[in-house]
């Protein structure tokens, strides 16, 4: 509801007389909400949104346009947009019934036009976007984007926001390599296991990380190290020379959290994963 004021002026023979001030209330019968259908994000994820427009009046609203800024924010002298609309993802419902897709301009900003909201009814627009390299990362990262409803007899822009936080926690990957890749009988080889954490939190002792492997062919282990520090069998790892089963003791491996930097020139976020290396050397 908005209050408005109005006053008239009567002019005669060089004299002006003001009327009394009248006050009115403009009742807004159109409202909008925006809901994020995704709990959190990391780079490359797909996030979805639903914009619901409700008409509490007795007259249809036609020719409405929904514009979404796709999370645009200022970076230095430029504007970065952390979401990229996914073509063909628009779904449009009127009073809950699927309706032909309205006109869409991917932008940014994303524009959906030709929307009708019937009297006493509602219209819902659902769409998806992919998180790109400009999305803030880390524990404080969020994407806040605004949908604005205009046109079709709307007296003032109607806005609705949704905020999605960046993913937190631990996110681990492991890669294994062999050196050399060609070896003769009774030769020496080294297995290297590189563990990376792209998450915003470190993997700690309480996470009970364990690396297991069955070496085939079975090797006679001569050394095991973690980040260059020698490990001891029984304390840090176990090994069955009969089956070739190798396992680290739970909690011996910890991995630092990733760090995130924003390129000062482009504004793109760079993930610097926390990295540790486990090596196992032995003879065949």
User: For residue 205, which phi and psi values (nearest 5 degrees)?
Assistant: -55, -35
**Alpha carbons 1 and 13: distance in angstroms, whole number:** 40
pLDDT (tens digit per residue) in 208-247: 999 999 999 999 999 999 999 999 999 999 999 999 999 9
Q: Residue 21 has what pLDDT?
A: 85
Domain boundaries, the chain: 29-165, 172-283
* Best CATH choice for the domain 172-283 from the list 2.40.10, 1.25.40, 2.60.60, 2.60.40: 2.60.40
What pTM does this model have? 0.81
CATH architecture of the domain 29-165 equals: Sandwich (2.60)
Q: What is the mean pLDDT of the chain?
A: 94
10 has pLDDT over 90: no
Given a contact cutoff of 8 angstroms between Cβ atoms, the answer to whether 77 and 25 are in contact is: no
Under 8 Å CB-to-CB from 187, ≥6 apart: which residues? 283, 284
């Amino acid at each position: 509801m908005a209050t408005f004021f109005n006053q008239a002026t009567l002019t005669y023979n060089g004299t002006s007389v003001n009327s009394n001030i009248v006050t009115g209330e403009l009742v807004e019968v159109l409202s909008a909400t925006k809901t994020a259908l995704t709990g959190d994000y990391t780079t490359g994820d797909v996030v979805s949104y639903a914009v619901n427009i409700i008409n509490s009046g007795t007259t249809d609203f036609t020719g409405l346009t929904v514009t979404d800024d796709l999370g645009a924010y200022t970076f230095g002298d430029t504007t970065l947009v952390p979401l990229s609309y996914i073509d063909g993802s628009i779904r449009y419902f009127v009073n809950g019934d699927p309706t032909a897709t309205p006109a869409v301009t991917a932008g940014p900003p994303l524009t959906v036009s030709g929307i009708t909201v019937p009297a006493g009814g509602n219209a819902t627009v659902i769409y998806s976007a992919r998180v790109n390299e400009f999305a803030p990362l880390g524990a404080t990262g969020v994407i806040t984007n605004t949908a604005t409803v205009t046109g079709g007899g709307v007296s003032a822009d109607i806005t609705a926001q949704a905020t999605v936080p960046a993913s937190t926690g631990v996110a681990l990957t492991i890669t294994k390599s062999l050196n050399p890749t060609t070896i003769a009988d009774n030769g020496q080889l080294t297995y290297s296991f590189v563990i990376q954490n792209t998450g915003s939190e470190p993997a700690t002792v309480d996470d009970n990380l364990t690396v297991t492997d069955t070496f085939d062919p079975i090797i006679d282990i001569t050394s095991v190290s973690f980040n260059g520090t020698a490990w001891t069998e029984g304390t840090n790892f176990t090994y069955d020379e009969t089956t070739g089963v190798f396992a680290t003791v739970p909690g011996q491996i910890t991995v630092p959290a990733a760090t995130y930097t924003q390129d000062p020139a482009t504004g793109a976020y760079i993930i610097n994963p926390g990295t540790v290396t486990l090596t196992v050397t032995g003879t065949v």
